[in-house]
Amino acid sequence: MHFRLVMLPVILLFWASCTEEPEEKVRIPESIVAGQTSGNGIVYTNPQPDDSFYFAGLASQEVFYDLNRDGNDDLVFSMTDYPDSVSGYYSASLRPVYPNQIVRTPQLDYYLRPLNAGDTIGRNSYWHEGSAFMFYEGWDPGHHWSTGQWDTIRHAFAGVKLITGADTSYCWISLFHSKEPPHALVIRDYAYTIRYTEP
C-alpha cells in the first residue's frame, strides 16, 4: 500500500509528460496595412449595409462604436454644429475610448490623419489618446475658414490602436463623410489584428 501511494504521483507525472500537447506558437501581428482584408491574425468586417451615422441637426451628437464587438466601446465619432445668425462652426471628430489611441497628423496636431490604402499602421505610427478633428469649419461676419485634411477628402482610412489587457491590436477603418446635408459619417469596412496560432 505504501509503495502504491508513493508511486502514484510519479506515474501521474510521467503520464502527464507523455500526453502534453506540442507547444503552440501564439502570435499577434505587429502591424496592419490600410485596406488589408486577409492574413494570419487579421479580422476583416464589412458591414452590410455600411454603418452610417446621420447628423440629426443637434448642437452636438456622439456615436459610440464597438469596433471588435467585445461589448466595450472603442471609439466615439462626434459631429458638432453651433450656428447662430452671425457666426458658428461645424466640425467632425474622432475620439478613442481610453486607453485606445488613434493616428494623428504630425504636422497638423489635433487632427485625424487620413491614411491611404497601403499605409502601414503599427508601432511607429503617430499615436495619440486624445480626440482629433477630421475637419473644423467656422464662420463669422466677412470671414469663413476651414481646417483639417478631411475638409477636402471625403474618403480615407483612419488608424486605430485597441489596447485590451496585454494585447495591442492595430486597426484600419475605411471612413467616408459628407459635409453637405445630410451630414453623415459612414464606416464602409474595417479590419483589426488578433492573436492567432501559427500553423
Nearest CB to Ca ion, comparing residues 70 and 167: 70
Residue 45 is a binding residue for Ca ion (CB under 5 A): no
Residue 72 is a binding residue for Ca ion (CB under 5 A): yes
Contacting range for Ca ion; rule: CB under 5 A; set: 55-63, 65-73, 126-134, 149-157:
65-73
Residue 74 is a binding residue for Ca ion (CB under 5 A): yes
Contacting range for Ca ion; rule: CB under 5 A; set: 49-57, 73-81, 134-142, 170-178:
73-81
- As a whole number of angstroms, the distance between CA 114 and CA 3 comes to 73
Residue 40 is a binding residue for Ca ion (CB under 5 A): no
Tell me which of 30, 66, 109, 140 binds Ca ion, using CB under 5 A: 66
- Residue whose grid cell is 452671425: 86
Nearest CB to Ca ion, comparing residues 151 and 191: 191
SS (HEC) of the chain: CHHHHHHHHHHHHHHHHHHCCCCCCEECCCEEECCCCCCCCEEEECCCCCEEEECCCCCEEEEEECCCCCCCCCEEEEEEEEECCCCEEEEEEEEECCCCEEEEECCEEEEECCECCCCEEECCCCEECCCEEEEEEEEECCEEEEECHHHCCCEEEEEEEEEECCEEEEEEEEEEEECCCCCEEEEEEEEEECCEECC
Q: How far is the CB of 68 from Ca ion (least distance, A)?
A: 4
Nearest CB to Ca ion, comparing residues 153 and 194: 194
Closest by CA position to 187, among listed 53, 13, 70: 53
Q: How far is the CB of 164 from Ca ion (least distance, A)?
A: 8
Tell me which of 37, 52, 68, 168 binds Ca ion, using CB under 5 A: 68
Q: How many residues at the interface with Ca ion, by CB under 5 A? A: 5
Tell me which of 15, 26, 60, 70 binds Ca ion, using CB under 5 A: 70
Q: How far is the CB of 96 from Ca ion (least distance, A)?
A: 11
Residues that bind Ca ion (CB under 5 A): 66, 68, 70, 72, 74
